[in-house]
Amino acid sequence: MPLLEGKKALIFGIANHRSIGWAIAQSLAAEGAQLAFSYQERMEKYVRDLAAKLPGTEVMECDVQNDEQLDSAFVRASEIFNGELDILIHSVAYAPPRELENPFYDTTREGFHTTLDISTYSLIAMAKRAFPLMQARGGGSMLTMTYMASERVVPKYNAMAVAKAALECSVRFLAYELGEHNIRVNAISAGPLNTLAARGVSGLTQFREHMNVAAPLRRNIDQSEVGDAALFLCSHLARAITGEIMFVDAGYNIMGFGDTK
C-alpha cells in the first residue's frame, strides 16, 4: 500500500515549479496523499497550473500575515478534507529585500517584524488552526523548512537567520505541546536551492558551487531530495520523531574546515 494512502495534506508556500513546497507536493502525491495548496495572491496562476498536474488537488488563497485569511483557509481545508487533516507543510518565508542587502546592524524594526511575522509566526498561527483537524484524526505531522544560518553566520542572511532560529525554537515548543495529541512537529534544514526566495540572498550561486567541493557528498542537493525527506518525516516511518531539525544538505553542516583541494 502507498505510504500515505488516505492521508490529507495541506501545503503552504508553493510559488512555482522550483519551490521546495512543490517538490514536497510531488513526493506526497506519489505515495497516495490527497492535497490542497494555499497560495499567496500574486502566485495564483502558477499554483493553479501546478495543482492541475496532480488530479484532485484543491487550491485556496491565503496571505499568512492576515488572520482572517488564515481562518478562511483552514475552514476551506476542513470542508475539502471533511474536518480532518494528517499533514501540514509550512514552506513559507519572506524578508524585505533591503534587510538582505544592508548590514545586519542596519536591520529596521519594520523589516524585522515583517520577516519574523511571515517566516516564523505563521507556523504558530497555522499550528493552532491545524490542531483540531489533526485531533479529529488522532494525530498528525507538521513540517517546516529552515536553514543552517539559524546556528552559524551565513553573510547577508541577516534577519532571516534570526527568523529561522526562532522557527526552530517554535518547532520544539509546538512538538512538546502537541506531542500528547500524537501530533509531531519537525523541520528540514535544506542546503541551498535555486528558488525564488533564495534568489533574494546574494552569493547563492557561489554557495552552491562551494557545496561541490566542501560537502561530504561533494555535490549539491535538489528539491526532490527535500521532498522525499519530507515524505519520510510525514509518514508513519517517522512516528517516533518529533521536535527534530533534520539536515538535507549533502552533509555540509558536519564540516569544520573543508577539503582545500
Binding residues for ligand NAD, rule: CB under 6 A, are 13-15, 19-21, 40, 43, 63-65, 91-94, 118, 145-147, 190, 192-193, 195-198
Of 25 and 93, the one with the shorter C-beta distance to ligand NAD is 93
Minimum distance of ligand NAD from residue 13's CB (angstroms): 4
Task: Say if CB 23 and CB 103 are below 8 A apart.
Answer: no
Minimum distance of ligand NAD from residue 7's CB (angstroms): 21
Minimum distance of ligand NAD from residue 54's CB (angstroms): 16
* Phi, psi angle pair for 21, to nearest 5°: -60, -35
Of 34 and 40, the one with the shorter C-beta distance to ligand NAD is 40
- Run of H or E including 231: helix 223-234
Minimum distance of ligand NAD from residue 138's CB (angstroms): 28
What is the set of active-site residues? 147, 157
| Angle at the Cα of 243 from the Cα atoms of 113 and 111, rounded to 5 degrees | 10
Residue type for 142, please?
Answer: M
Name the nearest CA neighbour of 192 among 221, 217, 168: 221
Of 84 and 220, the one with the shorter C-beta distance to ligand NAD is 220
Distance (Å, whole) CA 28 – CA 122: 22
Q: How many CB atoms lie within 10 A of CB 218?
A: 12
Of 4 and 118, the one with the shorter C-beta distance to ligand NAD is 118
User: 106: exposed, middle or buried (C-beta count within 10 Å: 0-12, 13-18, 19+)?
Assistant: exposed
Name the nearest CA neighbour of 22 among 30, 33, 11: 11
Of 196 and 213, the one with the shorter C-beta distance to ligand NAD is 196
Minimum distance of ligand NAD from residue 147's CB (angstroms): 4
Name the nearest CA neighbour of 68 among 125, 119, 134: 125
